[in-house]
Amino acid sequence: MEATIKVKNLNKKYEGFELKNISFEIPEGSIVGLIGENGAGKTTTIKSILNIIKSDGEIQVFGKDIRQNEKEIKSKLGVVLDDSFLSEYLTPKKINSIMKNFYNIWDKELFENYIKLFKLPENKMIKDFSSGMKMKLKIATAISHKPQILILDEPTSGLDPIVRNEILDIFRQFIAEDEKRSILISTHITTDLEHISDYIMFIKNGEITLNLPTSEILENYGIVKCDEKDFSKISKEDYEYYRKEKYQYEVLVNNKNSIKNKYGISTIDKASIEDIMLFYIKGEK
């Protein structure tokens, strides 16, 4: 399986923050979720891939260096960022008429279908839209020039569960229509990723600390709840993080079956992506 995006040894330093040797690949036909707390480096990573900010390291998209082939590559990308969009004084109808000047491929009918699906008023200015309406318009605009890769920063933020499910269905359809397409999605809504992502990457303090198939994470990770005596029996090599509560310990393990057999633990709770993220952020080693 080819990779649509390859990042190797990506570094970026700000005052008080550093992106440290980030390396990963986005395989063709996959949806990859990038998670982490605010300030961990998610947006810096995405903006580096898009060459919006200058970083050290190798970044290839479609097998080509983004810095040397930026215009060609970006014509094949659909991007949704929180802090970038067209003029607030445009309407969806006006956007549809001018986008053909930005992209070689612009499907006016497809854009109109999304506007209807999202129930957006085509003659209302963007400045009068709610934050949720603006996000839906960004997604419609990003997809309507039929890109090969979607790069999305918090695309379901501010949307109610029904609309979020509609958006997730659109992402699934986007991948299903072409096996060479892929999506990189950064989000705080980890339940969305459980439904659609193929891989999860967790970034903490500028470093990738977890990068695994979603199915593997949900199948193998679990939470052991025990008292201090039983916790002391568990080897440090057999757990990821733990949290000490008032009357018990909660322990994140990455191989439920092995833990059950090795320590005779009969009950291990299922760990959601959100559970795992909280352990990685607030847990102890």
Is residue 131 located within the same domain as residue 173?
yes
pLDDT at 84: 66
Intervals of the chain under pLDDT 70: 83-85
Token digits of residue 203? 């970034």
Domain span including residue 239 = 221-282
* Residue 185: CB atoms within 10 Å: 25
pLDDT, position 162: 86
197 and 233 together in one domain: no
Residues 119-147 pLDDT 10s? 999 999 999 998 888 888 999 999 999 99
Structure tokens at 78: 């659909």
Per-residue model confidence as pLDDT tens digits over 261-276? 898 888 899 999 999 9
Could you tell me if 166 and 133 are in contact, meaning their C-beta atoms sit under 8 angstroms apart? no
| Closest listed residue to residue 25, CA positions, set 221, 272, 213, 254 | 213
pLDDT at residue 29, as a whole number: 95
Instruction: Give the position of tokens 């040894």.
Output: 9
User: End-to-end CA distance of the chain, in Å?
Assistant: 35
Q: Within 10 A of 226 (CB to CB), how many other CB atoms are there?
A: 18
The enclosing domain of 195 has a CATH number of 3.40.50.300
* Domain identity same for 199 and 248: no
